[in-house]
């Protein structure tokens, strides 16, 4: 985004970029973009016509905080983003080890 500084100043919205040599950050970004495109198709969405309530509704659906929200994430141990913050560990529990007889 060539004019990210101008955009940030004009809108008050910060722009973030992935760190160099950090490909794991780009995957999450691309996944989020794909999820958002399900709601806002490219070249068919006029963002000027959307209200804050419309955007909040989509965010709630994606984060699983709407009624019946069940969009789980494998990366978050099959929890919704809202419930992932209540997990006690960011890593899965180790698998039980077996001993050879």
Highest mean pLDDT out of 15-19, 35-39, 83-87, 95-99: 35-39
The structure's pTM equals 0.51
- Hey, what are 51's tokens? 């209200």
* 75 pLDDT above the threshold of 70: no
Helix and strand counts by DSSP (H, E) for the chain? 4, 0
Going from N- to C-terminal start, the domains of the chain cover 7-83
Core vs surface per residue 41-59: b (16+ CB within 10 A) or e? eeeeeeeeeeeeeeeeebe
**By C-alpha distance, which of 71, 81, 77 is closest to 91?**
77
Residues whose CB is less than 8 angstroms from the CB of residue 30 and which lie 6 or more positions away in sequence, other chains included: none
Q: Would you say 87 and 79 are in contact if contact means Cβ atoms under 8 Å apart? A: yes
**Residue 79 DSSP class:** B
The whole-angstrom separation of Cα 78 and Cα 25 is 20
Which residues on adjacent β-strands are paired with residue 79?
73
Residue 96: pLDDT band with limits 50, 70, 90: low
* 81 pLDDT above the threshold of 80: no
């Amino acid at each position: 985004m060539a004019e990210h500084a101008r955009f940030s100043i004009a809108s008050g919205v910060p722009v973030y970029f992935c760190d160099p040599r950090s490909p794991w950050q780009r995957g999450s970004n691309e996944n989020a973009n794909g999820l958002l495109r399900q709601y806002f198709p490219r070249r068919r969405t006029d963002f000027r016509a959307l209200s804050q309530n419309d955007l909040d509704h989509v965010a709630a659906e994606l984060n699983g905080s709407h009624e019946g929200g069940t969009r789980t994430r494998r990366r978050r141990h099959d929890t919704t983003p809202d419930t992932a913050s209540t997990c006690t560990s960011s890593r899965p529990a180790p698998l039980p080890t077996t001993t050879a007889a």
